[in-house]
Amino acid sequence: DEVDLELDTNNDIIADAEYILNNKPNIIDSRSVQEYMQGKIPNAINIPWESNIEKDRIFADRDYIANNLKDVDNNIVCYCTHGIRAAHMFASLRLIGKDNVRVYDGSIMDWVSKRLPIE
């Protein structure tokens, strides 16, 4: 069966390198500590995406996530390698009520391909 489907993109939740450079958001690197130590977007803090899940791969309790992310203010951009783990961090932040959050869709791979600075 053929189905007509029309989707809209919500650009308010997507960031790119230009957005980061122009808006100076709080940046969360959702990769592992090892990946973070190999190079990161300047001023990014590392909060591995797995810190917000339980052993059976479900979201941790909201209070646990809120405590884990208590030092993160609004105007947040999450990134990882390609954007998948960043999307999980985005969902964690939205779950605890953060509403000004974006995912850097191209993540570190896009940043590096543009030859932007790495710390």
For residue range 39-91, what is the model confidence (pLDDT) as tens digits?
999 999 999 998 888 877 777 878 888 887 877 888 999 999 998 999 999 99
Q: Which residue has the tokens 């810190």?
A: 51
pLDDT reported for residue 9: 81
- On the CB side of 15, CA atoms within 13 Å amount to 31
Residue 76 lies in a domain: yes
Number of domains in the chain: 1
Residue 50 lies in a domain: yes
Residue 43 lies in a domain: yes
pTM: 0.86
Q: How far apart are CA 88 and CA 105, in angstroms?
A: 12
CATH of the domain at 36: 3.40.250.10
Contacts of 30 (CB under 8 A, 6+ apart): 47, 48, 49, 78, 79, 80, 85, 86, 88, 89
pLDDT tens, residue by residue, 94-114: 988 888 999 999 999 999 999
Position 36 pLDDT exceeds 80 = yes
Query: Is residue 40 within 8 Å of 117, Cβ to Cβ?
Result: no
Q: State percent of the chain over pLDDT 70.
A: 100
Spatial CA neighbour of 42 closest among 102, 100, 119? 119
Candidate from 18-22, 24-28, 70-74 with smallest mean pLDDT: 70-74
Domain range for 108 is 13-113
Residue 119 lies in a domain: no
Query: Is residue 69 within 8 Å of 94, Cβ to Cβ?
Result: no
